[in-house]
Each structure stands twice: as structure tokens, then as C-alpha cells.
Amino acid sequence: MNGGGVRRPSRNLFDDAPVGLFTVDRRLVVRRANEQARRLLGVHRRSAAVGRRLLDELDDATGQRLLTALSSLAPADGMSMGEVRWRRNPGDPRVVRVEARAHPKGDDVLLAFIDVTDARAQADSAEHRAQHDGLTGLPNRSAILDRLAQSMDAARAGQWRLAVMFVDLDHFKELNDSLGHEAGDGLLCAVAQRLRTALEGRSVAARLGGDEFLVLVPTLLPADDPVALADQLLARLGQPLELAGKLLRPSASMGVSLFPDDGTDAKTLLRLADLALYRAKQDGRNAVRFYEAGMDADAQRRPRLRTELEQALVHSELCLHYQPQMELATGRIAGMGALLRWNHPQEGLLSPERFIPLAEETGLIHPIGEWALQTAVTQLRRWRERGLEQLRLSIKVSPRQLEQPGLDILVGELIQRKGLPPRLLQLQVAESALAAGSPRIFDALGALRRVGVSLALDRFGTGASSLADLPRVMPDAVRVDRSLVARLSDAPDGRALVKAIVAMARPLGLKVLADGVETDVQKDFLKEIGVDEIAGRITGVPMLAEDATRRLLGAPDTL
């Protein structure tokens, strides 16, 4: 620089390049390396880089591919090797893009190593987010649909079957509302983890949204029993866990479709599994249902049925039937069970299994439940006026009714207005309603207990709750589920299960009632082991109030 200034050393484009540049021979031996290239090698001095073999820095497959490519590279020609792994530092793995250009007049080759580690990490992260659920880390709907399509292609080629399982948590909304969204998220993550490890790694699980999951079993072997696999999965999901300081026993409903038995395309399999899931909810939840012919017709009927159900109360199409409950020790009628029916104008008399799940979904369960309670309590008052002063009346209440504030006030006012002893009204609560551990349900049961009504756990023995729930509810009775009664004759463990329920109930001071009793053999066994009361065809079919009154007043005192 003129005027006595200091001259700075000049640098060339090779040294100043922001990427790693190597001049190598055709055997990938380094002849020259710039500063960025030396950083990749982990050396500082120029001389330390010269003579190094780049083959030592690349995995064997990449090194051999690069050697082969360079051997055929003509003078002045260029090529790209794409992205490769640079393995100099195992603790800091780098991803580099390799570009090559042969010297115009010699055998040397200029290699450019462009570090794209951060960009690749960002791209991988974006791809992962696009394919996975942000809360649970499970694959999302898009990812599982891709996997389902691939699995069906493989199944066609291999001529094997696969299973699609829709999983929906029971009573999740109630739990999420009562315990808070943080606990709800915790439950979803716990369920996701259980799904990851379910079926011994043979399945792929995804979260579709909300509390809905999908499990894909890509390969069903000839020896596999899909029912057993689904039951195994449901049992895994039902194991207790602690969240927000409370012990929860989650339960789920599951619908299953099979390829190619039920459908040969993804859309059909998903739709049929969803239909089966709805049937599982209809049947009381905490259950597995496989798609069966006829579910399609039910699904098509559902929107029309919803509209008609809205009009059923207005048009007085709902009614209560009453079934006698017999005291085994004396043979007398100790109570009547009020059973809801819908006298549909076109389809005839419908059982509650056909419309109560729909009523719960739409919120119609609240006016329907209130009507049923008012009607049942009014009928009990009429029977008392006819001299049946000790007759007890039992009626089911839905978990959704328990979730609605004020049920205890409604029941208390009804009883007081009709002048009834509270103990003569028994409210039946499904055992599955306790499974989620919703504080609202336990609070509602406590409030009803303070009103003085009798409480019974319905469908007991289906495994949805635990003994720890009994002191919290303080029921007066448990009702053995009809599915267990049906197994008394043909299942080796049927009698043992009912005996165990009686043995558990006695020390707690609980009465035991059995539903669905149809034969003298069942009745005699239940009496022998100490069951207090039974109901079923053997005690009388459900009947209208007029027929029930004639039965109560006109029949002998014993059945």
C-alpha cells in the first residue's frame, strides 16, 4: 500500500471458500485442503492434511461409490454425489453434500464438501412433524394411511390377512373436563405408550385426533386369533395408572375390520372398523366388536333415528316396562326393575341398547332420563297407594346423567313430592362408569347417597372397575352381569366368578343381585351360594305398568 501502509497477505478463492475444498488424486488421497476442509478432518496445519485418505473419513459403501465415480470422470467434467455421512467425529456426526470436478489437464480432482447437517436436521424435523402427532409422538392420520396402503400391497402379494383396529377411550371428555387438560394429555400419552408396546411390536399405532387411535396389525399369521389379539390390547389399555394424584382405570372401546375378509381398500376397512367401534359403544363400552354384516344398515339408519328420537318424547313414544325381582330366600317379589323402551311407530318396540348410546351422543339422555325418573317414581307412588308399601323400584341412570349437575336435587324433589321413603328407590349405575375415575361421577354418587336413595353397581363383574371404587361409592348392592349368569352352565370358570363376587360382597355388607336368570339350574345355584335376589325370564318378562300391577296384586306372594 502506497504512503508507508501495511500490505495484508493475499488469500485466494480456494482458501477463502466457505465450504470444504479438497484437491485429491483418483485414489482419494489429499494433496491440498482449505481451512474448512481441515476442520472436517480435525487438523489445523496444512501439512497435516496432505496425504490423508478420504476413504478413512467415509463409510465403506460411500467411499467405494466415490472411487468408482471418479475413475470414470473425464477431464473438466463434474458430478454430484448427493448427501453422505462424514464419520470423522462419532460424537458430532455431520452430513455433507459432495460435488466433484476433474482438473482440465491432469488426474487431480477438486472435491467440494458442503456441510448440510443443520439444514438436514431441520428438514428431518419438519418431515417428522408432518408425519407424527405433536402430543404423543405417534404417527398421525396421514402416516398411518400410507402404512396401511403399503401393508395391503404386501398382504396381496403374500396372500395374508391384516387387521385394522379403531380405538376410542371411554368417558375421556368427562375425565378431561373434571381433572383438567393437563391430566387428559397425560392419559393420552400413557395410552400412546401402551399402544407402542402392545402386541409385542407386531402392530403400528397412530393417533387420529382427540382420544381416537388406530392400530394396524400388518400381518396376521395363520395361527393368529384376531379376537385374542384385540382382547390382549384392550386388557393392556385397561391397566390402572396414576394421574393428577388420582388412580385411574382407563377403558376403551374397539372396532375391528379385517383385510381381505371385510374389504380390500383402505377407505372401506376404516369405515367398517368405525361401524364396529360404534357397536362396541352401543353395547356398553369397554368392549371389542368385529365388523359384521348388517352394521352398514344400522349406520344408514342412525341419522334418521336421531331425528325420530328427538320427537319420541313429544309424541309420548317412550315407555317403561317393569320386571319382577325375586328374593331367593323367601321367593317373594322384593322389587320391580324399570326398563326403558321406545315404541317406535315403524320398527316396533326398541330396547335401550338401540337408542341410549345415540341419546348420550346427542344430549337427549338428560330429558329422557328425567322423564324416566318421573314416570318410575310416579308409578312407585301408585303401587304404595295400592298397599305395596315395601316394594322397591330400580332404574338405571346413565353416566352422562351423573355428569350433569343437579341430579341429586331432581331425585330429592321427586321423592319428597311423591312422599316416598328414599330407600325404596334404587338407582343402578353401570360399573364401567367408575372406570375413568371421574370426580364428577363420584361426587354425584355421594350426593345421591346423601339424598338417601339406594345405589347398585350394575353389570358388575365385567372388569371395568376395581375393589378400591366400592368404598368411594358405598353402594347397597352389586348386580351380577347377565353375561356371567349365562356362563354358569357352560363355562368352567363361570361359577367361580360369581362365587368370588358373593365372597367379596359379604364382608362389605353388600347385597348381591343377579340379572338374566332363565333356568331353574341357574336359580338353584345362585340361591345355594348366597345370592340375595334375581331377575330374568324366570321371574317374569318385562311388562307394562298395568300388567305389573295385576301381577303384584293378583298373583300369590311367591313366584
Q: List per-residue pLDDT tens for the chain, 559 residues long.
A: 454 444 444 457 787 778 888 888 888 899 888 988 888 888 888 888 888 888 888 777 778 888 888 887 887 778 887 787 776 555 667 788 888 888 877 788 888 888 888 777 777 676 677 788 889 989 999 899 999 999 999 998 888 899 999 999 988 887 777 777 888 889 999 999 999 888 777 889 999 988 999 999 998 888 889 999 999 898 888 888 887 777 778 889 999 999 999 999 999 999 999 999 988 887 778 889 999 887 877 667 777 888 899 899 889 999 999 999 999 999 999 999 999 999 999 889 999 988 888 888 888 999 999 999 999 999 999 999 999 999 999 999 998 898 888 999 999 999 999 999 999 999 999 887 776 567 788 889 999 999 999 999 988 876 555 566 677 788 999 999 888 898 887 666 778 889 988 998 888 889 999 999 999 999 999 999 999 999 999 999 999 999 999 999 975 444 4
Other Cβ atoms closer than 10 A to 140: 18
Alpha-carbon span 503 to 237, nearest angstrom? 28
pLDDT of residue 166: 95
Q: For domain 134-293, give the fold.
A: Alpha-Beta Plaits (3.30.70)
Pairing, β 477-480 against β 454-460: parallel
Closest CA relative to residue 518, chosen from 537, 546, 493, 545: 537
How many whole angstroms separate alpha carbon 462 and alpha carbon 432? Answer: 8
Return d(Cα 269, Cα 276) in angstroms, integer.
11
Residue 391 CA, chain-centre distance (Å), reads 42
**CATH code 3.40.390.10 for 13-120:** no
Give 283's contacts (C-beta < 8 A, 6+ positions apart).
289, 353
pLDDT computed for residue 7 by the predictor: 47
- Cell numbers 347417597 correspond to 449
Helix locations, 487-532, DSSP H: 494-505, 520-529
Rounded to whole angstroms, the Cα distance separating 234 from 250 reads: 10
The CATH superfamily of 300-553 is EAL domain (3.20.20.450)
* Three-class SS state of 400: helix
Give the dihedral sign, CA 447/449/453/459.
positive
Global pTM? 0.63
Q: Residue 559 and residue 39: Cα distance in Å, rounded?
A: 96
Exposed, middle or buried: residue 326 (CB in 10 Å: 0-12, 13-18, 19+)? buried
Question: Does the bond joining 260 to the residue before it have cis omega, within 30 degrees of 0?
Answer: yes
First and final C-alpha spacing in the chain? 122
Query: In this structure, are residues 489 and 458 in contact, taking their beta carbons and an 8 Å threshold?
Result: no
Sign of the torsion formed by the C-alpha atoms of 244, 246, 249 and 254: negative
**What's the rounded Cα separation, in Å, for the pair 23 and 52?**
11
- In the chain, the amino acid numbered 360 is E
Among the listed residues 55, 51, 71, the one whose alpha carbon sits nearest the alpha carbon of residue 63:
55
Alpha-carbon distance of 248 to 438, in angstroms, equals: 8
Calculate the dihedral angle through the C-alpha atoms of 278, 282, 284, 290, rounding to the nearest 10 degrees: -50
Q: Where are the domains of the chain?
A: 13-120, 134-293, 300-553
The β-bridge relationship of strands 511-514 and 477-480 is: parallel
For the record, the C-alpha cell of 83 comes out as: 448427501
**Taking a C-beta distance cutoff of 8 angstroms, is the pair 408, 447 a contact?**
yes
Strand partners, 102: 109
Q: Are 323 and 302 in contact (CB under 8 A)?
A: no
**pLDDT at residue 417 in the model:** 95
Domains 13-120 and 300-553 share a fold: no
What pLDDT is recorded for position 88? Answer: 56
Helix (H) or strand (E) holding 361: helix 352-362
Give me 279's grid cell: 357397536
- Could you give the strand order of the β-sheet that contains 252-259, starting from the edge strand earlier in sequence? 204-209, 212-220, 161-169, 252-259, 288-290
CA dist., res. 293 & res. 176, Å (int): 35
438 three-state secondary structure: coil
Distance, in Å, from the CA atom of 382 to the CA atom of 553, rounded to the nearest integer, reads 12
Contacts of 31 (CB under 8 A, 6+ apart): 23, 24, 25, 50, 108
- The three three-digit cell numbers of residue 327, written as one number: 328374593
Residues listed for the chain: 559
Per the DSSP assignment, residues forming a β-bridge with 341 are 319
